[in-house]
Chain A
Amino acid sequence: MQNIPQKIVQGKYLRHKKNFPHVWCPGCSNGIVLGAIIRAMAKLEWKRSNTAMVSGIGCSSRMPVYVDLNTLHSLHGRAIAYATGMKLYKPQMNVMVVTGDGDATAIGGNHLIHAARRNIDITVVLINNYIYGMTGGQYSPTTPTGDKATTTPYGNLDPTFDICKLAMGAGATFVARSSAYHAIEANNFIRKGFEHKGFSLVEIISACPVIYGRLNKKGSPADMMRSMKKNVIPQKSYDKLDEKQRNGKMIRGILQDIDKPEYCEVYDELVQSLQNKKGNK
């Protein structure tokens, strides 16, 4: 086994002999998130034939190419809609969705809120890098106000989306946020999202050093990771700050964890009750 470059390859989830090295830019956090997902799956000992990964379009949505699972690379923003159909047809299957911020909140925003409202048992891993990376650096709903993108050369005017609050308001039962710098915590949150029964959303703040970092002069990949350590903070230290200091900071941790009836079970109950009625007549 000495030929194998990293230990996580031993879990057999990575297609490390076919498509590597991957196409993501140097310093991109998508690889860290992929490692966290694979470690979480290996910890839960999921079978590859019983697991599905669905994605839309974008940098992060390139991820299904690198894993040896049932994968689906679907339309822009519609990944959650595809995953809903997959889960309803095979409720015993473990379905996860990997999307970016523009994919899930701008183009697929409607699908995100309605899947959260329905509480179907899907895990959404949302990689938030503040920009549309693959299509050339347009501003996304999560680009901070005043920051530059290729379509906003004098600064972005729009206020930003708080994705976790959006999901909580729509009725998601498990919501957590972490960053690529806190890789062990991200790994644990993804594992808890996989274990949770119901709609779970894990937002992971990540770095795009090549487009977003270069336009806004954020420095090297290591500098961007250090700024994550400063800006993504736990609830306790967030409460101590003033309103001025809170600008640009984000809370990390498990923000919501409740139990509600799951959609596939409710659907099965309805079908069975109707079948019993027919039998009685």
Chain B
Amino acid sequence: MSNGKKPREVEKKPEGVIIKSDDSPAKMEVRHTEIKTEGDYKESPVYIYHDWCVKCGICVAFCPTGVLARKPDGSPYVKNPEKCIHCETCDRLCPNFAITGAKQK
């Protein structure tokens, strides 16, 4: 360089998983990073994905046995995991796909 400046470094994007599928109409490679999760998926019958949750309160209002409850900020949490009857009501009524009812063992 004539000015003595160093060439600007280009940031490398994190390498994600490449998924190819024949069935998709787009037929293009989709590069993305894996979703990080936290929580107790193995122990609890209901799993809440807090990144997508918008705290609307529908899952807490319509759980028939009272498994879920709300924190003071409005976000749901699993209060009584032993009461779950695996009806999947929370699963179907969540508008944001943020809650999963696990299968009965």
Contact = CB atoms under 8 A, between A and B. Distances in A.
A21 B54 contact: yes
Given A5-B35, A7-B91, A27 B97 contact: no
A221 B56 contact: yes
A262 interface: no
B86 interface: no
Interface stretch (A8-16, A78-86, A117-125, A141-149): A8-16
Interface string A1-32: 01111111100101011101110101111111
Nearest to B32: A17
Contacts of B47: 5
B30 A17 contact: yes
Contact of B100 (A5, A14, A209): A5
B21 A12 contact: yes
Contacts of A226: 61
Q: A5, A47, A70: which has the most chain B beta carbons within 10 Å? A: A5
Nearest to A20: B52
A174 B96 CA distance: 29
A5 B52 contact: yes
Nearest to B19: A17
B16 to A, nearest CB: 9
A29 B54 contact: no
B100 A22 contact: no
Interface residues of A, number: 42
A27 B98 contact: no
A48 B97 contact: no
Contacts of B21: 12
A2 B58 CA distance: 24
B95 A28 contact: yes
B32 A18 contact: yes
B26 interface: yes
Interface of A: prevailing SS: loop
A187 B56 CA distance: 22
Contact of B23 (A12, A20, A24, A225): A12
B25 A27 contact: no
B100 A21 contact: no
Interface in B70-97: 91-97
27 contacts: A2-B37, A3-B35, A4-B35, A5-B98, A5-B100, A6-B91, A6-B97, A6-B98, A7-B91, A12-B21, A12-B23, A18-B30, A20-B97, A21-B54, A24-B95, A26-B55, A27-B54, A27-B56, A32-B94, A47-B23, A49-B24, A68-B24, A221-B58, A222-B60, A222-B61, A225-B61, A225-B93
Given A6-B100, A20-B97, A226-B61, 20 more contacts: A2-B37, A3-B35, A5-B52, A12-B23, A16-B97, A21-B52, A21-B54, A26-B54, A26-B55, A27-B56, A29-B95, A30-B95, A32-B93, A32-B95, A48-B24, A68-B26, A70-B25, A221-B58, A222-B56, A222-B57
